[in-house]
Structure 1
């Protein structure tokens, strides 16, 4: 099912993300940290450890990036998200089986539960909501627009999109209002940190994010 809107050109992506107070570079940095955490999987770990590490560190990276800008940790409905009290937008980190594929909607690696389904439904008309009373803050959180940062990893093929689903049925997303392509097929290699031949990569490094022209 085609999304109502697909934003894929780099200049369009930056303009759209700026409307949310975000940048592509920030989200690409989150993906770097999630991919690095996934690479920490070893044979003796539980089988689902790679995905769990990606989710844990990806969620943490989203919060590290956005809380300094006024976003907040939110766990309404036991959904780990990062919430912007000004715009009424939430972002959830999500491992996916695909991303940035025009012919295929991203699918969550693990099925979504009733709480996620309810949150997606409630958030359909709540982006940039207006509330007159401060005591309605909890209602605002419950009805926030729920966006997902979908991250797909298959070896050296890494892709990511920030997308706004319409609903969840039978544990999976069904249709999207909007999909914003952050890392498209073939772009990941140009976003990797450069390491000189013969040198071991530093344990701590600053990621230099570049976009393909």
Structure 2
């Protein structure tokens, strides 16, 4: 088992995401949609509706952003992912019980099935360059590295990380190769724009991403 690489500082996060032509701002926009969708839950909805709404709208927002860059919808193994055919990377939106805590790995709110476990196992091949050509030539989608945008939403406490699990055991993530912190504890309030009570929310805005010292 290899040690988890944790990427948490501004310059590290930006540089790492840039490897895949991604930005923290784009990931935060996905989280914003998930938070808004969960907040639309009302008492008469089914009990699991809040999580389902955040998952549906989070997945949709992720695809809205990534498909403009050439990523593709991927449903291999009935896993709703977004796939980059150039880099061999997949991203899945995932509601989780935590995020961005060094001493605690995020756990999926919903259990992960055998298809997800297989996909994660196959995705480990991308860690080894000698398998890259073969993986790209033979079933590239199945062998894509499977990353999860883990989003924790608990009222005003919102966190997110983009993470690459090593395996899935007993229907849950088991260790991670890498965890990239997008929104750390206590940062959500400073990330979201302030607006007056009578101001109509705007869909387009600049997100000021700052880290607490």
Same-fold status (TM-score > 0.5): yes
Any conservation in 2 of the 1:6–1:179 contact (CA below 8 Å)? Answer: yes
- Return the alpha-carbon distance in structure 1 between the equivalents of residues 160 and 3 of structure 2: 16
2:157 corresponding residue in structure 1: 157
Alignment RMSD: 1.8
Deviates more, 1:121-130 or 1:185-194: 121-130
Q: Structure 2: state its 5+ residue gaps.
A: none
Deviations 1:9-57 (A, max 9, x none): 0110000000011000000000001100111100000000000000000
> Aligned with 2:34: secondary structure?
helix
Question: What is the TM-score of this pair, normalised by structure 2?
Answer: 0.93
Deviates more, 1:24-33 or 1:123-132: 123-132
Q: Structure 1: state its 5+ residue gaps.
A: none
- Return the alpha-carbon distance in structure 1 between the equivalents of residues 135 and 55 of structure 2: 36
Alignment of 1:1-213 (within 5 A): 3-126=3-126, 129-131=132-134, 136=138, 139-196=139-196, 198-202=197-201, 204-213=202-211
Deviation at 1:98, TM superposition (A): 0.1
Deviation at 1:126, TM superposition (A): 2.1
Deviation at 1:130, TM superposition (A): 2.5
Question: What is the TM-score of this pair, normalised by structure 1?
Answer: 0.93
Query: How has the CA–CA distance of structure 1 residues 206 and 3 changed in structure 2, closer, same or farther, with 3 Å as cutoff?
Result: farther
Any conservation in 2 of the 1:2–1:102 contact (CA below 8 Å)? Answer: no
> Aligned with 2:16: secondary structure?
helix
Any conservation in 1 of the 2:125–2:135 contact (CA below 8 Å)? Answer: no
- Return the alpha-carbon distance in structure 2 between the equivalents of residues 103 and 58 of structure 1: 26
- Return the alpha-carbon distance in structure 1 between the equivalents of residues 136 and 13 of structure 2: 34
- Return the alpha-carbon distance in structure 2 between the equivalents of residues 2 and 93 of structure 1: 24
